[in-house]
Structure 1
């Protein structure tokens, strides 16, 4: 398996640079087997059935991008990947020159941080002030690298789902960005149950796949948790012959990791699951997901869920129809494996 097997050509003007005015006005490509239907996201409640269970990721994006300098004066950009304790965190760091263990970084002239170690491309860093307080006063919303502009106050709201409640992510679970209270209300009226889990999306989601990840079929680690109440909702959906519909690849990875690690139960832990074609899905019946980068692990995941040929055809359809791609782009509803 090669990343090039999952490539496609995307015209640059189709990479969404800004959110549209109304979340649920996004375009929705309904993929049912090999049939493609162009819809609007607000149509979703009419596509689901009484007894279905829709599961979303309630992680909240942290203002995880910090700017500072080395003691030598060279600029650094820090993208926090995971908070370890009150003062310590792992991060990606952009810098010029060298950065070693014991190097010091300075944020906003007064906040000092020390490099402790470097492992698998991530720096372990300790701050002399509580890191959540530093992010609140100095941090920016970490827009993905394919959005070629600086974040604005609008992104603070729009690069966040309306149901975000568990702080810890450095990237939004983008399939959830399209949901509004109106859509939730219509889903409930339709008899669709709604549940939540947490998976804190890490900075590794923006890193290119490494050869060893493909060989070992393991990605970067991300924390996730599943509650007992969600497990009960899943059991009830199965009793009603309802489908388990994952909103996003993060929910898909969390649910399938749960089933691989011992089955349906309340759980807190880490996953590095890498879902590729040939994977046997144990719990997810349908999926709502944005359009993903060529050659990425997420392209491999959706190809595993349906099949590579149909996914690539659906992407070509979306490109011809002028859909917008990636975080602030449009969305797919995939059913019929």
Structure 2
């Protein structure tokens, strides 16, 4: 697939600039666009159980967001260092940025030192194939800097909000640089309705890195990916496999869940697995582990959009996004939701 195929025009009026709670609404008071083989359907998020059925399995990410944006000062003056992937307490992949609204890459050289409060972090080398990311080595655990100086990663279209704004009902294990936001509208009320409808829920864990990176290669499939830690338990693997065997549907809540499941998929089904994944789910690789995807609306020319294209095909993505823009659905982590159900081909 060519990079240009993931380009689309999107007016700024569809950006969600604040959480629905700030607009005087509940978390689950957002819209839901449902894309099925028979076309597009407009709904509210509280209607989600109506589009699912008894026996369906929702797979959710239990990772909790951390305040991973650190104010730093170096030879270029004040910048941000947004943490991405943890290897050990003093070594992370990180993204140096001019500001929340102005990304890099920055004109820095290996060995650049950044002051973060009383701590020092040294940028060792750029991550291969992704020049905006660097290996960062600190003189003390990054966890201490996160606790003292960290704030939520956010971008130019929205302000920083209190950290609880970035947690979901399923957030249990701290570690994500950014919120796995697809589950954000699932409130206790929605979960109870799902359970009453016979829909089951199973967890995975994937600590997400920064989401701001665009695909930079001319061919989508050639894009490098940074690693993210993930874990799939034996119980979840068994639940996914039994759901498929019974002819029921597995619905991933978020692209992070798809990435984790695809990273542990084998010809014999899903297997328990723990480690790092650099898997880039794209139209060439396809999606084998799920029958549906509950997600948000994704930016042009990003890995998230490439994953959606792998799941539903570029023509259906274009049709759905054209309808979403026409109808005024809201983009980004505080925006509206998109449920995609595809025809089973197994």
What TM-score does the superposition give when structure 1 sets the normalisation length? 0.90
Any idea what the Cα deviations from partners look like across 1:268-320, whole Å, max 9, x if unmatched? 12222223335443221111111111222222222221221122111111111
Q: Aligned match of 1:160 in 167, 170, 187?
A: 167
Q: Is the 8 A contact 1:217 1:273 kept in 2?
A: no
Q: Is the 8 A contact 1:198 1:225 kept in 2?
A: yes
Q: Is the 8 A contact 1:23 1:180 kept in 2?
A: yes
Match of 1:124? 135
Shift of 1:172: 1.5
Match of 2:78? 75
Match of 2:244? 238
Q: Is the 8 A contact 2:215 2:223 kept in 1?
A: no
Any idea what the Cα deviations from partners look like across 1:3-44, whole Å, max 9, x if unmatched? 221222111011111110211111000111141111011111
Q: Is the 8 A contact 1:213 1:219 kept in 2?
A: no
d(CA) in 1 for partners of 2:266, 2:95: 29
Shift of 1:103: 3.2
Query: Unpaired runs of 5+ in structure 1?
Result: none
Q: Aligned match of 1:94 in 97, 102, 105?
A: 97
d(CA) in 1 for partners of 2:302, 2:112: 33
CA gap 1:40/1:305 in 2 versus in 1, 3 angstroms: same
d(CA) in 1 for partners of 2:219, 2:181: 23
Any idea what the Cα deviations from partners look like across 1:87-128, whole Å, max 9, x if unmatched? 2222111369854344322122x2222333333333222222
**Cα RMSD, aligned residues only:** 2.2
d(CA) in 2 for partners of 1:124, 1:280: 30
Query: Unpaired runs of 5+ in structure 2?
Result: 99-103
Q: Is the 8 A contact 2:281 2:287 kept in 1?
A: no
Match of 2:199? 192
Q: Is the 8 A contact 1:86 1:131 kept in 2?
A: yes
| Bigger proportion of residues as helix | 1
**SS where residue 137 of structure 1 aligns?**
helix
Match of 1:293? 299
| Comparing 215-224 and 326-335, the one that deviates more | 215-224
CA gap 1:114/1:311 in 2 versus in 1, 3 angstroms: closer
Q: Is the 8 A contact 2:72 2:80 kept in 1?
A: yes
**SS where residue 238 of structure 1 aligns?**
helix
CA gap 1:98/1:146 in 2 versus in 1, 3 angstroms: closer
What TM-score does the superposition give when structure 2 sets the normalisation length? 0.88
Q: Is the 8 A contact 2:221 2:282 kept in 1?
A: no
Shift of 1:77: 1.3
CA gap 1:254/1:213 in 2 versus in 1, 3 angstroms: farther
